[in-house]
Structure 1
Amino acid sequence: MPLFLIERNFAEQIELNVDGVNAITQINGEEGVNWLFSFLSADKRKSYCLYEATNPEAIREAARRANVPADVIIEVSQFNPERMLAAAA
């Protein structure tokens, strides 16, 4: 499945509770979107998230339904978490 990096710009910090996370997870599943990994910028105003999805439109629709931004969506070629973990060790 294609991989996409999503940049989200937040006007203010978002804090999600368990119900909010569950709602977003359900929406993602309904749209065929699978979250893999996220980074938060030091100022907590941007996040960078890696997703699997059939296309960018599925990500945009999931973001619209969840009422979260998806400002930039870039298709990427690969993600190798084992390599990241080995480098951190």
Structure 2
Amino acid sequence: MTRFLIEREIPGASELTEQQLAEISCKSNATVASLGVPYRWITSYVAGDKVYCIHEAEDEETIREHARRGGFPADVVSVVAAEFGPHTAR
């Protein structure tokens, strides 16, 4: 599967409560289950009025279908070309 970075513009995202984030998580999980194809939600980050998500799927259309079914914006969907961090330093 391909890893994607999804940028979602959600006004007031940083004001969402833990309960609201839990409800969004439940909806996302149910949507993933309804797709009937390989799909994996890795994690999400809230920053200001945006939510950044890392998901894995076969293609961008599947990412966008998840967004449509779940009622989530998917303003920018980008293929993750590489990952690195402190553990990759030599």
Q: TM-score, normalised by structure 2?
A: 0.72
RMSD: 2.3
Q: Which residue of 1 aligns with 2:3?
A: 3
Q: Which residue of 1 aligns with 2:80?
A: 76
Q: What residue ranges of structure 2 are gaps of 5+ in the alignment?
A: none
Q: Which residue of 1 aligns with 2:28?
A: 24
Residue in structure 2 matched with residue 35 of structure 1 by the alignment: 41
Question: Do the aligned partners of 1:5 and 1:75 also contact (CA within 8 Å) in 2?
Answer: yes
Percent identity, please: 31
Measured in 1, the distance between the counterparts of 2:83 and 2:33 equals: 21
Q: Describe how 1:41-52 pairs up with structure 2 within 5 A.
A: 41=47, 43=48, 45-52=49-56
Stretches of structure 1 that go unaligned for 5 or more consecutive residues are: none
Asked whether 1:64 is paired with 2:46, we answer no
| Number of equivalences | 82
Q: Is the contact made by 2:11 and 2:50 (CA closer than 8 Å) also made in structure 1?
A: no
